[in-house]
Amino acid sequence: MLEKNVDFATYAKTTPDKNGYFGTYGGAYIPPQLVEEFERISVAYQAICKSSKFISELRRIRKEFQGRPTPVCHCERLSNSIGNCQIYLKREDLNHTGAHKLNHCMGEGLLAKYLGKKKIIAETGAGQHGVALATAAAYFGLECDIYMGEVDIAKQAPNVSRMKLLGARVIPVSHGLKTLKEAVDAAFEAYMGEFEDTIYCIGSVVGPHPFPMMVRDFQSVVGIEAREQFLDMTGELPDAVVACVGGGSNAIGLMSAFLNDPVKLYGVEPLGIGTKMGEHAASMTYGSEGIMHGFNSIMLKDEKGEPAPVYSIASGLDYPSVGPEHAYLHDLGRVIYKTASDDETIEAFSVLSKLEGIIPALESAHAVAYAMKLAKEMKTGTILINLSGRGDKDLEYVIEHYGDRLGLK
Ligand SMILES: Cc1ncc(COP(=O)(O)O)c(C=O)c1O
């Protein structure tokens, strides 16, 4: 794709436009009864979240409760095992609750409090967003309902217990493929019946406007910290930045700080077990333009044009669409989208554990897998990976399905 004439120095202030469009992607395709409520959230977001009171409160929470800033660390042994290219990690696994998701959940929870809402509601795939939201609900004293597909409930049992312990209701979703897409459908339907007292805290940079913008802004703390930390550590910017892409929040969070820099940006999608429909969830790589869950983006479709069945070893990545900003940055040629298969991901999961003492989330292991390939190709230079979460939640699943291969049984 050709790089179009976009001024990335002013990009964050001008994108999306006032109707929530990133180029032709985004918008708010919602039932008429929700239009007013979404406008209210949009206006409140601009008025409240940009106030110094809100910002200083969120800063204090990030420092005292979340444990931010999370560090950047150099992976010396991993880098040496590949060659001369130096790999670094932004350690979102060390953010409270073990993933980047808490960054937007605390922002959304604080906004809910300012708006006088009593309850927050959401879907979850891997359970990380659900745990983060349940944590925010406990912190702010809000009720919390989390919708989760039955397949993911079975796969991510420890996170289900965590959400319950934190006081959330976990509501199983048993239709369709019983994974993330169906959980979003169910959460949205429930929200329509109770939006007056409730706010829907979407789990990524997806959904109707203003959510893709709001979640991006709350996640941008990752990139702001990482850019400064990397400069401080090395005196330079990284040559490449790599992040996994499900809906795309950890990727946007890190990349937003580097859009105006001479840094290559790579988003990594899940290739699962193959390129046929139902074998992967690589929306940007194999999808086409379409509307789902209230926003226009690039999505995977079946023969009838409906959202296609998707699969990934990582529950947090198996979503048949992608945040509208990613679709836009792809068209602009500013971010390059690549894939990592289940097998490559399992290899990276094992290698990072053994060489660096860091067990990554299976979602994040996709980024590590691609970065390892990229490091071989680049030969020299530096790569910064967003290690979006820790892998404890995945251990049981990995032992059951890959235990023999990894020598864990
Ligand atoms: C650790 C981790 N990384 C990445 C993702 C993918 O989400 P996103 O693409 O919004 O960062 C998830 C989703 O659950 C996750 O738990």
Instruction: Decide whether any atom of ligand 1 lies within 6 Å of the 317 Cβ.
Output: yes
> From edge to edge, which strands make up the β-sheet containing 21-22?
21-22, 25-26, 295-299, 288-292
pLDDT band at 214 (very low <50, low <70, confident <90, very high): very high
**Which pair of tokens denotes residue 227?**
């850019």
In this structure, the answer to whether residues 82 and 50 fall within a common structural domain is: no
Mean pLDDT of 100-104: 97
- 128-183 pLDDT tens trace: 899 999 999 999 999 999 999 999 999 888 899 999 999 999 999 999 999 988 99
**C-alpha–C-alpha distance, residues 166 and 259, integer Å:** 37
397 and 262 housed in the same domain: yes
Identify which of 108, 128, 319 to mutate to test ligand 1's pocket (most ligand atoms within 8 A of the CB).
128
Question: Do 105 and 133 share a domain, yes or no?
Answer: yes
Instruction: Among 212, 238, 260, give the residue marking a domain's end.
Output: 212
113 and 226 part of one domain = no
Over its C-alpha atoms, the chain yields an Rg (Å, rounded) of 20
Position 283 scores a pLDDT of 98
Can you spell out the DSSP letters for 286-316?
H-EEEEETTEEEEE-B-TTSSBPP---SSGG
The answer on 232 and 307 residing in a single domain is yes
**Helix 211-234 and helix 324-332, axial crossing angle in degrees, nearest 10:** 60
Supply the pLDDT for residue 5: 79
The answer to whether 100 is a known catalytic residue is yes
What would the mean pLDDT of 116-132 be, rounded to a whole number? 94
**The pLDDT of residue 1:** 43
CB atoms within 10 A of CB 309: 17
**Bigger pLDDT: 404 vs 49:** 404
Taking the C-alpha atoms of residue 265 and residue 124, their distance in angstroms, rounded to an integer, is 27
Question: For position 2, what pLDDT does the model report?
Answer: 44
Nearest CA to ligand 1 atom 13: 316
Pocket test for ligand 1, best of 91, 181, 184, 204 (most atoms within 8 A of CB): 204
Spacing, Cα 203 to ligand 1 middle (Å) = 9
> Residues 248, 377: one domain?
yes
Find the mean pLDDT for residues 348-356: 98
Q: How confident is the model at residue 50 (pLDDT cuts 50, 70, 90)?
A: confident
3-state class of 228 per DSSP? Answer: helix
Query: What does DSSP assign to residue 272?
Result: E
The answer to whether residues 195 and 327 belong to one domain is: no
In a domain, 192, yes or no: yes
To 10 degrees, what angle do helices 128-140 and 157-165 make? 10
Closest listed residue to residue 346, CA positions, set 359, 329, 327, 336: 359
- In the chain, how many domains are there? 2
Q: Would you state the pLDDT for residue 3?
A: 52
Query: Do 153 and 242 fall into the same domain?
Result: no
Among candidate residues 305, 345, 194, 321, the one with its CA nearest the CA of residue 246: 321
Q: Could you give the CA distance from residue 285 to residue 300 in angstroms, rounded to a whole number?
A: 9
| Omega before 309 within 30 of 0, i.e. cis | no
Q: How far apart are the first and last CA of the chain?
A: 47
CA–CA gap between residue 327 and residue 108 (Å, rounded):
24
pLDDT category, 409, cuts 50, 70, 90? confident
**Residue type at 283 in one-letter notation:** S
Say which of 85, 96, 100, 104 is annotated catalytic: 100
User: Do the beta carbons of residue 234 and residue 74 sit within 8 Å?
Assistant: no
Chain mean pLDDT for the chain: 96
Which domain covers residue 302, as residue numbers? 67-98+220-406
Pick from 124, 136, 116: which is nearest to 183 by CA? 124
Q: For residue 215, what are its two tokens?
A: 């979640």
- Pair (179, 44) in one structural domain: yes
Please check whether residue 161 lies inside any domain of the structure. yes
Task: Give the rounded percent of residues in the chain with a pLDDT score beyond 70.
Answer: 99
CA of 101 to the centre of ligand 1 (A): 7
Instruction: Identify any residues that bridge with 147 across adjacent strands, giving them in sequence order.
Output: 123, 171
Pocket test for ligand 1, best of 93, 101, 214, 295 (most atoms within 8 A of CB): 101
CB 158 within 8 A of CB 396: yes
Note the pLDDT of residue 183.
Answer: 95
Q: Please identify, by atom number, the ligand 1 atom nearest to the C-alpha of residue 361.
A: 1
Task: Say whether both 127 and 91 belong to one domain.
Answer: no
pLDDT: which is higher, 67 or 126: 67
Q: Are residues 327 and 339 in the same domain?
A: yes
What is the predicted pLDDT for the residue at 155?
Answer: 84
Cα–Cα distance measured from residue 85 to residue 379, given in angstroms and rounded to the nearest whole number: 5
State pLDDT tens for residues 218-253.
999 999 999 999 999 999 999 999 999 999 999 999
User: Is 6 contained in some domain?
Assistant: no
The whole-number average pLDDT for the span 121-126 is: 92
Distance (Å, rounded) from C-alpha 92 to C-alpha 72?
9
C-alpha atoms less than 13 angstroms from C-alpha of 34 in its C-beta half-sphere: 21
At 4, the pLDDT band (50, 70, 90 cuts) reads low
Residue 282 CA to residue 339 CA, distance in Å, equals 7
- Of 325, 323, 300, 296, give the one whose Cα is nearest residue 312: 300
What band does 305 get if pLDDT is binned at 50, 70 and 90?
very high
- The verdict on residue 5 lying in a domain is no
User: Is 117 inside any structural domain?
Assistant: yes
Does residue 143 lie in a domain region? Answer: yes
Which DSSP category does 201 fall into? Answer: -
User: pLDDT tens for residues 311-329?
Assistant: 999 999 999 999 999 999 9
**b/e burial code for range 369-378 (CB count within 10 A of at least 16 → b):** bbbbbbbeeb
